[in-house]
Amino acid sequence: MAVEKRLLGRTELEVTPLGLGCWQFSGGRGLIGGFWEALPQERVVGVVEAALAGGMNWFDTAEAYGWGASEEALSAALKTLGKKPGEVVIATKWHPTFRRASSLRTTLEDRLRHLGGFPVDLHQVHHPTSLATVEEEMRVMAGLLREGKIRAVGVSNYTAGMMRRAHQALQKHGLALASNQIRYSLLDRQAERNGVLAAAKELGITIIAYSPLAQGILTARLHADPASIRLRPGPRKWLPRFRERGLARTRPLVEALEEIGRAHGATPGQVALAWVIRFHGPTVVAIPGASRPEQVRENAGALDLALTPRELARLDELSRPFSGL
């Protein structure tokens, strides 16, 4: 069965409702990359192969993910698997901290070099912390788009107001903002009360949900074995939602995911992903990460999972307390 594809914003880029987040390919480098163990390249190949086999057609990486390490690992894996430029969609991100808008242009060559011949289909501003205005950033992005150096413009972690400003700035060049990448899951629904989701629907901007499984909490594995978090690399083990009290608070929601999963022959994680990519129609797509091929295969199963309106509503109700809704 062919996997559904959705237009990314008002662009011509078509992406599957699930893509592969590639933060975990950072090689353990840097503060951001240190959230993950360094994966051997043969494991990276296995993860990318499982994503392709599961029907995913796009991959999201970033400059800050090991300062090029993730881009290089992804590119090498795609080449090993016989993929050629243009056969998949590649999204990456510019790291804006302490930089001017001109850095978008000067560092794009680094992105292309690390991607080893694969193009930058979607170029995103990673977060709103640069020394430039939104308008200045979008002016440079528009130039790169007109020159054919990128195919679409996105942002990440932008508020509703900043997203509107980016959209309006691109409109002056006859272009449109394709996406805003934000943390969104059953445990992270702030976008529904801070105006981001409403603005995205109004303007035709795609929301790319990162951490759609709340970094593993919604798979139910940590609830089954809370002590296992101590073996995880990086600082996640110290965050409140991963501690005993945090897991107890999310247990009712996770138990509902398990119950609904049993009715469909699905896992809790698959149910959680299906909710993210279905509850708001085509507006939201998601990029769960994975460090093992079997995790990708499990995630891909959510593409074919059809939850009933009652099940979607039940999960909506149970998850509302986690975002003040």
Give the mean pLDDT of 127-134: 96
Give me the domains of the chain, ranges plus CATH numbers: 13-323 (3.20.20.100)
Give the mean pLDDT of 286-314: 97
CB within 8 Å of 150: residues ≥ 6 apart = 108, 119, 120, 121, 122, 123, 141, 144
pLDDT value, residue 232: 56
Give the mean pLDDT of 117-133: 97
The mean pLDDT value of the chain amounts to 91
Among candidates 196, 115, 194, which has minimal Cα distance to 155?
196
Structure tokens at 36: 């993950």
Sign for the CA dihedral angle at 131, 161, 152, 68 comes to positive
Give residue 239's pLDDT band: very low, low, confident or very high (50, 70, 90). low
Q: How far apart are CA 126 and CA 167, in angstroms?
A: 16
CA distances from 116 to 27, 108, 286 (A): 17, 13, 25
Helical axes 69-80 vs 103-114, angle rounded to 10°:
40
Is 253 a residue whose pLDDT tops 60?
Answer: yes
Give residue 321's pLDDT band: very low, low, confident or very high (50, 70, 90). confident
CB within 8 Å of 79: residues ≥ 6 apart = 116
| CA angle at 266 for the pair 237 and 26, rounded to the nearest 5° | 40
Model pLDDT for residues 101-113, shown as the tens digit of each residue:
999 999 999 999 9
CB 149 within 8 A of CB 110: no
CB within 8 Å of 321: residues ≥ 6 apart = none
Structure tokens at 144: 């790169």
Q: How buried is 110 (Cβ within 10 angstroms: 0-12 exposed, 13-18 middle, 19+ buried)?
A: middle
Give residue 35's pLDDT band: very low, low, confident or very high (50, 70, 90). low
- 65 among known catalytic residues: yes
Give residue 251's pLDDT band: very low, low, confident or very high (50, 70, 90). confident
- Greatest Cα pair distance in the chain: 53
| Helix intervals (H) in 115-243 | 134-146, 160-171, 196-203, 221-224
CB atoms within 10 A of CB 91: 29
Q: Residue 323: CA atoms inside 13 Å, Cβ hemisphere, count?
A: 18
Q: How far apart are CA 206 and CA 194, in angstroms?
A: 16
Lowest mean pLDDT among 23-27, 34-38, 72-76: 34-38
> What are the backbone angles phi and psi of residue 118, rounded to the nearest 5°?
-80, 140
Q: How far apart are CA 255 and CA 268, in angstroms?
A: 8
Looking up tokens 């950072």 gives 26
What is the DSSP code string of 262-311? HHHT--HHHHHHHHHHHTTGGGEEE--B-SSHHHHHHHHGGGG----HHH
Give the mean pLDDT of 295-302: 97
- The residue annotated as part of the active site, out of 65, 158, 184, 210, is 65
Strand pairing partners for 154? 124, 179
Looking up tokens 């494991």 gives 43
pLDDT value, residue 324: 47
Give the mean pLDDT of 79-94: 98
Q: How is residue 54 annotated by DSSP?
A: T
